[in-house]
């Protein structure tokens, strides 16, 4: 199915965000890569994917991502009771961590989700970003009356979108001025992602602003939820957590120095933990494709315009595909393959092909940094009941 739809991987979705942008004259009926399909989607996607998916470009953000992770860890450390149990809503703190990290990549500034970086402008950006996320979620998963008239959630979506648009537009103008002032000293090795886009050509100012905002809803809740699942499964499987800590002790040593790109590349067991977490509790059942033509698939006629959901996540629970599927075994993903070979198309949490999640490397880097710092310092445990899944 991936191969049959690779030439035109349309998926639809995020219709509330698309409508809000089409209603706003600023965007000139261009919704950005999160909501568009076809030629308009590829026009932008083909330009933005290179700088965002190059590991060396993301390495520039490691230092600040580590600071943000440490801010989260320090806050959690201060909010524990006499038994060492966290007294905060930890999922809420993870959402703040993800938003702070994603916004730093998107608009090149901290927005003050943690202590020590608080000012009026930062608070307004933070509040607008959370309101945008909440409004999109509400519109997409609950009543669709916003398609007929402006409901309260849709009005909030439009309001927060307008505010963040102005912020991103201003930041990009300032970035361009700085680039112009140091044009004789520019080097590709010290350009952040926004600067790469501003200099790359082929994209309008508004294209870049739209993409900067797309990173926020595209990367925040998915990242925080993914980490929550990792923490839950490692708490339930102390042997796997101990092996992760042994790897971190070996690679990070005393942990006093900053994390380096080389150290991140050596975290093979951490990568296996994330892959296994995505198998056991997948962030989505699978991607959707809106068929752009009639196709024949294994004896079935699938018609143009049909919506096809790849139930990819269910493969992770199949005993015939994954021996001991009911157990959390990160080792199955190591090079030694103790439980046999794994087909490369079985677990695809970031989808595949040209429509693969453009923020994949960004999200993985964020998660590995937090895992490294959190589990190098603490043992994570809990007495929570078994967690299930509800997909909407």
* Separation CA 317–CA 322 (nearest Å): 7
Would you say 369 and 72 are in contact if contact means Cβ atoms under 8 Å apart? no
User: Which domain covers residue 38, as residue numbers?
Assistant: 15-377
Assigned domain for 198 exists: yes
* Separation CA 81–CA 335 (nearest Å): 41
Assigned domain for 1 exists: no
What does the angle CA 316 – CA 322 – CA 323 come to, to the nearest 5 degrees? 140
Assigned domain for 6 exists: no
- What's the CATH number where 342 sits? 1.10.630.10
Assigned domain for 186 exists: yes
By CB atoms closer than 10 A (0-12, 13-18, 19+), residue 26 is: middle
Assigned domain for 153 exists: yes
Assigned domain for 295 exists: yes
Q: Which residues contact 325 (CB under 8 A, 6 or more apart)?
A: 316, 317, 318, 319
Would you say 235 and 381 are in contact if contact means Cβ atoms under 8 Å apart? yes
pLDDT (tens digit per residue) in 18-76? 999 999 999 999 999 999 999 999 999 999 998 888 888 899 999 999 999 999 999 99
**Would you give the DSSP letter of residue 384?**
P
pLDDT (tens digit per residue) in 327-378? 999 999 999 999 999 998 888 888 888 899 899 999 999 999 999 999 999 9
Q: Looking at the 3D structure of the chain, how many domains does it have?
A: 1
Q: Is the pLDDT of residue 183 over 80?
A: no
Assigned domain for 388 exists: no
Assigned domain for 98 exists: yes
């Amino acid at each position: 199915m991936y191969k049959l739809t690779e030439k035109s991987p349309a998926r639809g979705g995020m219709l509330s965000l698309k409508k809000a942008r089409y209603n706003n004259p600023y965007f000139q009926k261009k919704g950005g890569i999160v909501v568009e399909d076809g030629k308009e989607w590829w026009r932008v996607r083909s330009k933005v994917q290179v700088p965002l998916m190059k590991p060396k470009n993301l390495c520039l953000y490691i230092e600040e991502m580590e600071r943000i992770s440490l801010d989260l860890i320090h806050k959690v450390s201060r909010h524990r009771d006499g038994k060492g149990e966290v007294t905060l809503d930890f999922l809420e703190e993870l959402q703040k961590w993800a938003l702070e990290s994603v916004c730093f990549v998107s608009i090149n500034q901290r927005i003050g989700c943690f202590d020590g970086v608080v000012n009026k402008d930062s608070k307004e950006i933070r509040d607008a970003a959370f309101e945008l996320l909440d409004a999109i979620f509400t519109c997409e998963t609950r009543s669709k009356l916003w398609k007929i008239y402006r409901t309260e959630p849709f009005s909030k979506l439009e309001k927060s979108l307008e505010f963040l648009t102005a912020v991103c537009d201003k930041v990009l103008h300032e970035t361009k001025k700085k680039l112009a002032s140091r044009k004789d000293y520019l080097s590709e090795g010290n350009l952040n992602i926004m600067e790469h886009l501003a200099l790359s050509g082929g994209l309008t100012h508004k294209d870049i602003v739209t993409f900067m905002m797309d990173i926020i809803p595209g990367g925040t809740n998915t990242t925080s939820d993914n980490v929550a699942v990792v923490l839950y499964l490692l708490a339930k499987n102390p042997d796997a957590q101990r092996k992760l800590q042994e790897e971190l002790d070996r690679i990070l040593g005393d942990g006093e120095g900053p994390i380096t790109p080389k150290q991140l590349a050596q975290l093979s067991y951490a990568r296996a933990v994330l892959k296994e977490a995505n198998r056991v509790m997948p962030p989505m059942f699978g991607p959707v494709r809106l068929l752009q033509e009639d196709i024949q698939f294994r004896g079935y006629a699938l018609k143009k315009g049909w919506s096809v959901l790849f139930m990819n996540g269910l493969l992770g629970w199949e005993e015939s595909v994954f021996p001991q599927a009911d157990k959390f075994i990160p080792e199955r993903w190591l090079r030694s393959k103790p439980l046999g070979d794994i087909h490369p198309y079985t677990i695809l949490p970031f989808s595949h092909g040209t429509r693969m999640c453009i923020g994949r490397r960004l999200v993985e880097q964020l998660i590995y940094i937090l895992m490294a710092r959190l589990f190098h310092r603490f043992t994570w445990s809990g007495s929570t009941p078994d967690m299930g899944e509800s997909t909407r």
